[in-house]
């Protein structure tokens, strides 16, 4: 094969998988997310090759397009280190200092991977840059999601008051825009914050509101996250039978969509419930006590 023919074949391969990645991105949050996750898993090696070829050719447009579109796949399937490495490679490419929506999407992906790997300061920096770009572009929906992401980082560092401010600022924008999916995310994060600060009643209320919206949208992975939250509230109320049911429903959905980290978390929680039930000889018992911590959080017996 002559070099010109080979280069044309590589360019077509890159373009084809860039198109696939763009088509997949919105579906990874929709009712068909399980099928799309499986499709991307089947084509993962092709996507890797397309990214590698685009970087080697200096084709930052297609490299960014693919990586920025499929980071959620890497996140759900637990490819945190790979996703971080590939997104960082995109962000370091010549000409990558662009201040556009594509760079903002790549920054969000890099921030989420960094958070999962415990790199909080790097994650915060990525999300702050994404927020700056989105505000400059007048992208209110993007701004709201960047605020959520900054809230998650603050939450992970036990900066509870700051996390709440970010979540509530995002929630106000989501409701203004009528973005039900974004609203559900904010409600779920506020629920987790309330739960961790020992306000189990408010946590249950907010998890339930988030779950209701996610059921309406057909967001299966989101439903699993909210069900897990409700399971944790029930567990710490001492309602172990209800907790087991919530966790079981969550686990079934996570297995369906292939959410490996989520399934691992649900299995661990089911194991904790089983151990506690065995220790006290039944599914019901007294509500677990909340013990305030020095950092303002909550410890439970």
Task: Give the pLDDT of the chain (301 residues) as one tens digit per residue.
Answer: 667 788 889 999 999 999 999 999 999 887 788 899 999 999 999 999 999 999 888 888 898 899 999 999 999 899 999 999 999 988 888 766 778 898 999 999 999 999 999 999 999 999 999 999 999 999 999 999 999 999 999 999 999 999 999 999 999 999 999 999 999 999 999 999 999 999 999 999 999 999 999 999 999 999 999 999 999 999 999 999 999 999 999 999 999 988 888 999 999 999 999 999 988 776 655 444 454 444 444 544 3
Contact 262, 228 (CB under 8 A): yes
* CA dist., res. 179 & res. 104, Å (int): 19
Residue 227 is given by DSSP the state: H
Contact 145, 29 (CB under 8 A): no
- CA contacts within 13 A on the Cβ side of 140: 10
Cα 65 → chain centroid: 19
Q: What is the pLDDT of residue 283?
A: 60
Please name the fold of domain 46-66+95-178: 1.25.40
* CA dist., res. 292 & res. 270, Å (int): 25
* CA dist., res. 207 & res. 169, Å (int): 18
Contact 209, 190 (CB under 8 A): no
* CA dist., res. 119 & res. 112, Å (int): 10
Residue ranges matching CATH 1.25.40.10 in the chain: 46-66+95-178, 209-282
Q: Which residues of 145-180 are buried (b: 16+ CB within 10 A; e: fewer)?
A: bbbbbbbbbbbeeebbeebbebbebbbebbeeeebe
Q: Identify the CA nearest to 155 among candidates 126, 108, 195, 210.
A: 195
Contact 142, 101 (CB under 8 A): yes
**CATH of region 209-282, choose from 1.25.40.10, 3.40.190.10, 1.10.150.240, 3.40.50.720:** 1.25.40.10
């Amino acid at each position: 094969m002559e070099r010109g023919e080979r280069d044309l074949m590589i360019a077509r391969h890159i373009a084809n998988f860039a198109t696939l990645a763009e088509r997949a991105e919105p579906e990874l949050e929709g009712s068909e997310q399980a099928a799309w996750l499986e499709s991307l898993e089947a084509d993962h090696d092709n996507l890797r090759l397309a990214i590698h070829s685009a970087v080697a050719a200096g084709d930052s447009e297609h490299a960014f397009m693919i990586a920025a579109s499929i980071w959620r796949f890497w996140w759900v399937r637990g490819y945190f280190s790979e996703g971080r490495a590939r997104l960082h490679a995109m962000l370091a490419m010549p000409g990558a200092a662009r201040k556009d929506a594509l760079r903002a999407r790549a920054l969000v992906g890099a921030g989420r991977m960094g958070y999962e790997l415990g790199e909080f300061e790097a994650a915060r920096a990525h999300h702050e840059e994404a927020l700056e770009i989105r505000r400059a572009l007048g992208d209110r929906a993007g701004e709201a999601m960047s605020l959520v992401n900054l809230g998650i980082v603050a939450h992970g560092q036990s900066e509870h008051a700051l996390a709440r401010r970010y979540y509530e600022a995002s929630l106000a924008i989501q409701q203004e825009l009528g973005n039900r999916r974004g609203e559900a995310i904010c409600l779920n994060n506020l629920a987790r914050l309330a739960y961790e600060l020992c306000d189990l009643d408010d946590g249950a209320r907010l998890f339930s509101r988030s779950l209701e919206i996610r059921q309406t949208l057909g967001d299966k992975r989101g439903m699993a996250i909210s069900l897990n939250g409700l399971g944790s509230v029930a567990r710490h109320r001492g309602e172990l039978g209800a907790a087991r049911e919530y966790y079981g429903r969550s686990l079934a959905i996570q297995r369906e969509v292939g959410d490996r980290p989520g399934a691992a978390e649900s299995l661990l929680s089911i194991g904790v419930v089983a151990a506690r039930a065995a220790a006290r000889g039944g599914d019901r018992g007294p509500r677990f006590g909340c013990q305030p911590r020095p950092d303002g959080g909550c410890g439970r017996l």
